[in-house]
Amino acid sequence: MSRIGKRAITIPTGTDVSVASSELVVKGKGGTLKRMVHPAVSISIANGEVTVTPKEKSRLGRALWGTYAAHVRNMIGGVNTPFVKKLQVEGIGYKAELSGKQLKLTVGFSHPVVLAIPEGITAAVEKNIITVSGADKEAVGEFAASIRAQKKPEPYKGKGIRYEGEVVRQKQGKKAAAAATA
């Protein structure tokens, strides 16, 4: 039994949820999100609530029950208040700039790294902080991860791109390690 799947999901005012031909559509002030529904799960809408139930009592149906309940909850939440991820760019000479629908990163390579901002996602750069926001939680997280993957924070000086609030454990350098053994 899925504890997440058993709970009914309330639909806030101003949000429209519909299921037609195995496609879930959620519309709100933040946009429209669509997701295909797996045949092992059924989604029903009644009395301003969405309920997710497994169609079959199989292992796959039970596994997808809570997953699709979480997807529906994230979709409803995303169209009402956008999901936000913030990244910090740290290092001397490291910077990020926004030019149209592209994010240009100067992070210690011989060339600038240019990333295209996906549809449905907005990015903003203020000093050394990149803010990625959008209605789709998966798309926001994936784009933020692709930005971070361009130059992960290194453990000796802490230079690179990290999530806001992420703690990078620092290692000892050669001098400190050599002095400790001598």
Question: What does the pLDDT look like over 72-100, one tens digit per residue?
Answer: 999 999 999 999 999 999 999 999 999 99
Structure tokens at 89: 């760019």
Residue 175 lies in a domain: no
Of the residues 59, 80, 101, the one at which a domain ends: 80
pLDDT at 150: 95
Question: What does the pLDDT look like over 99-119, one tens digit per residue?
Answer: 999 999 999 999 999 999 999
Low-confidence ranges of the chain (pLDDT < 70): 1, 176-180, 182
Split into its structural domains, the chain has a count of 2
pLDDT at 37: 93
Residue 32 lies in a domain: yes
Structural domain for 150, as ranges = 83-163
What single string gives the DSSP state of each residue in the chain? Answer: --HHHHS-EEPPTT-EEEEETTEEEEEETTEEEEEEPPTTEEEEEETTEEEEEESS-SHHHHHHHHHHHHHHHHHHHHHHS-EEEEEEEESTT-EEEEETTEEEEESSSSS-EEEEPPTTEEEEEETTEEEEEES-HHHHHHHHHHHHHHSPPPTTT--EEEETT---PPPP-HHHHHHHH-
Of the residues 55, 80, 105, the one at which a domain ends: 80
